[in-house]
Amino acid sequence: MKRRSFISKVAATGAASAVLGAPLSASAQEKAKSTTVTLLGTGTPAPSLERAGSGYLIEVGDDRIVWDHGPDAHHRLLQTGTRAVDITHAFFTHLHYDHCMDYGRLVLQRWDQGADKIPELNVYGPQPIARMTELLFGEEGVYGPDIRARRLHQSSIDVFTARGGNAPRKRPAPIVKEIKPGDEIKGKNWTSKVGKATHVQPFLDCLAFRLDAPDGSLCYTGDSGKSDEIVELAKGCDILIHMNHYFSGRAPSPAYRAACGNHKDNAEVAQKAGVKTLVLTHLLGQIDQPRVREQIVHEIQETFDGKVVWGEDLMKLRFAGPVIPDIEGGY
Ligand SMILES: [Zn+2]
C-alpha cells in the first residue's frame, strides 16, 4: 500500500489496529477521541535541523488546528501523517517569521491538493494577517503569477481535473479574521480564547491562545515574557506551552528579559496559573544540552508543583498524563 493511501486509511479509522482488522479496545477508542497536541516546531529563529520554527498541531474532534506555522513546521506536520488538506484552522500568535514562514506552503499545498473539493482554510491572527494574506495570494501578490499559471495553463487544468476538480479553478481564498485579546472563537466542540502576550509590541501585535475542549484545556503563550495576562489566560489549564528561550540571569538586557522571559519566570507563571503540566518550547541551542536542560527542569520544579516537559519536535501530548505501568506490565 502506498504511504499516502495508508495514511488516509489510518486517519479514516482512527488507529492502525483497525486497519489490520482487530477491533479497537475501549482504551484505544477513548484515546482516538481524546484531544492531542503535537509539537511541530520547538525551535527559535536560529537555524536548526533538530528544532523547526514554532508550530503546534491540535487534533480535537474532527478539526485539525495549527497554532503558528514557522519554517519547517509544515515538514513536521507531514511527518505526523497529517496533510495540508486535513487542516481546518490556522491561528497565528504574531508575525515574526519564525512563527509564520510556512503559511504560504500550507495554503498553497492545501489549495493545490484540495482541487476545490475542501472548504477554505479558516485563518486567525493579529493584524496585518489579512494584508499579508493578500500580499501572498492575491492577484498582485507574491504567488499571483504562479496561481494564474496553475489556473490557466492546460497542463495544470488537466492535473486539477485528474484530482477531481471542476474547471474553472478557484483562487486560494483563506477566510481570514484579524483577532485581538479578549476575542473568542468557537469550533464544533472547542472554544479558543485570545490573550495578550508580552513580546515586541508596539511593532507587532502579540497574542496567546487558550483552547478548551471536552476533555481538557491547553494554553500556548506564543512568544512572551512573564505576564499576568498569561497567568489569567492559562488559569487551571492541563497543559501550558511556554516560550523558554534562555537561561535565567543570562539576558543581555531588561528589554530582552521582558520580551522573552526565562526559565525561573516561567516557573512563576505556571505556578500562579495552577497548570498541571508546563511544556518548555522555543529552545535555543545554547540551553538545549545535557546538564543545562536538567538544571533548568530542576530549578523550575523548585517553584512549580506540576510536571515539566522539555519539548521536542513531534512530541505528542494528551491532557491526561501517561499511566506508568508496573514492572511486569505490557505495552
Ligand atoms: Zn517572536
Residue 78 in grid coordinates: 507531514
pTM: 0.90
Q: Tens of pLDDT along 238-284?
A: 999 999 998 888 889 999 999 999 999 999 999 999 999 999 999 99
Residue 60, Cβ density class (10 Å: 0-12 exposed, 13-18 middle, ≥19 buried): buried
- Could you tell me if residue 18 is inside a domain? no
- Could you tell me if residue 17 is inside a domain? no
Stretches in the chain below the pLDDT threshold 50: 1-21
Residues with CB under 5 A from ligand 1 (ion): 96, 223
Q: Tens of pLDDT along 35-64?
A: 999 999 999 999 999 999 999 999 999 999
> What pLDDT score was predicted for residue 238?
98
- Count Cβ atoms below 10 Å from residue 287 Cβ, excluding itself: 19
- Could you tell me if residue 328 is inside a domain? no
CA of 276 to the centre of ligand 1 (A): 25
- Count Cβ atoms below 10 Å from residue 84 Cβ, excluding itself: 22
> What pLDDT score was predicted for residue 328?
74
User: Which residues form the domain of 38?
Assistant: 31-318
- Could you tell me if residue 326 is inside a domain? no
Which residue in 32, 40, 27, 38 sits closest to 16, CA to CA? 32
Which residue in 323, 261, 266 sits closest to 297, CA to CA? 266
- Could you tell me if residue 311 is inside a domain? yes
- Could you tell me if residue 5 is inside a domain? no
Q: How many domains does the chain have?
A: 1
CA of 223 to the centre of ligand 1 (A): 5
Pairing mode, strands 207-213 and 191-196 = antiparallel
Contact 242, 275 (CB under 8 A): no
> What pLDDT score was predicted for residue 2?
43
> What pLDDT score was predicted for residue 263?
95
* Domain harbouring 252, CATH code: 3.60.15.10
CA of 101 to the centre of ligand 1 (A): 12
Distance, CA of 43 to CA of 261 (rounded, Å): 15
> What pLDDT score was predicted for residue 25?
66
CA of 156 to the centre of ligand 1 (A): 38
- Count Cβ atoms below 10 Å from residue 69 Cβ, excluding itself: 31
Contact 37, 60 (CB under 8 A): no
CA of 199 to the centre of ligand 1 (A): 7
CA of 185 to the centre of ligand 1 (A): 23
- Could you tell me if residue 225 is inside a domain? yes
Rounded to an integer, what is the distance from CA 2 to the centroid of its chain?
27
- Could you tell me if residue 1 is inside a domain? no
> What pLDDT score was predicted for residue 321?
87
